[in-house]
Amino acid sequence: MNKVMLLLVALCIGPAALAADDPMSHKYFVMVGGFWPDVDTTVRVDGNGGRIGTKLDFESDLGLDDRDALFTAGAGWRIAERHYLDLLYFKLARSGDHTIDIDINFRDQTFTRQSDLNSFFNTEVYRISYGYAFIQNDKHLLLGQVGAHWTKVSAGVRLEGNREVSGDASSSVPLPVFGLAYDYMITPKLRLDLRAQIFRLSFEGIDGSIDNLSASLAYGFTPSLGAFLGYNYYSIDVDADRDNWNGSFSFGYKGPWLGVMWGFGSL
């Protein structure tokens, strides 16, 4: 079972309205949690001389698990009364073994049906996001967000028992992100969080999109300690024309998640 180290911040919990019993009302906060998402990965890696790669579903075609227990962590800083900063790091590394039932072209290598293959797909995401609260009181928070999102993806396939018969590709994709966050204090201890971030961009051989939607309920047990439960959806879709990756990839997950959060410090 693979684990993801360090994920999230504003996308799923974000800074909340300024309620006395809310851990997110502090100057700083940290969170840890986990979730059980349904993962979907589609990859095409073209070769040299106009060679077209096979479009592969890494879960169904190559045997990667489509469910995984993921660990999440994040941190945030309320810079000033209406100004917020979040940091994000996300890593997912998976591998699988499978006997293929189709012929596969992957970069400059061909794998014939009934071959036993080892494969991997690794994703790392880094993001820094700034948010400004257009509305902020003891009941409501409406936050606009802008940030930089950097994704590093690597994938590979090799013939089992023969490392010389293999193909791999990697790409780094820088994309800005924009979003909105809304928090509603149902009670002084119970908060509803809604998040949406999307972006589309074409430049320098990259045509990419990001979609991230989430909803969660957070409960403050003390002014500094709370917990949350919700549902998260994340998707990135990229067409690339670069030396290390000519083709496309899409990666997404969706599912329930929960965790704890701790706030400290004051403005």
In a domain, 12, yes or no: no
DSSP letter, residue 24: G
> Domains in the chain: how many in total?
1
- Containing 263, the helix (H) or strand (E) segment is strand 246-264
Whether pLDDT at 121 is above 60: yes
User: Could you tell me the two tokens for 159?
Assistant: 């013939």
In a domain, 254, yes or no: yes
Cα gap 7→219, rounded to integer Å = 20
Q: What is the CATH number of the domain that holds 148?
A: 2.40.128.90
Whether pLDDT at 105 is above 80: yes
In a domain, 171, yes or no: yes
Q: Could you read off the pLDDT of 173-214 as tens digits, one per residue?
A: 777 889 999 999 999 899 999 999 888 777 666 788 889 899
Instruction: For residues 4-16, give the mean pLDDT.
Output: 36
Quickly state the pLDDT bin for 22 (edges 50, 70, 90): low
In a domain, 86, yes or no: yes
Give one DSSP letter per residue of 145-187, joined into a string. Answer: EEEEEEEEEEEEEEETTEEEEEEEEEEEEEEEEEEEEEEEESS
How much is the pTM? 0.81
Quickly state the pLDDT bin for 21 (edges 50, 70, 90): low
Instruction: For residues 222-234, give the mean pLDDT.
Output: 91
**What's the confidence (pLDDT) of residue 165?**
64
In a domain, 168, yes or no: yes
In a domain, 135, yes or no: yes
Mean pLDDT, all residues of the chain: 82
**What's the confidence (pLDDT) of residue 2?**
41
Quickly state the pLDDT bin for 50 (edges 50, 70, 90): confident
**Structural domain boundaries, residue 223:** 23-264
Least confident of 25-39, 93-107, 113-127, 224-238: 25-39
Whether pLDDT at 1 is above 60: no
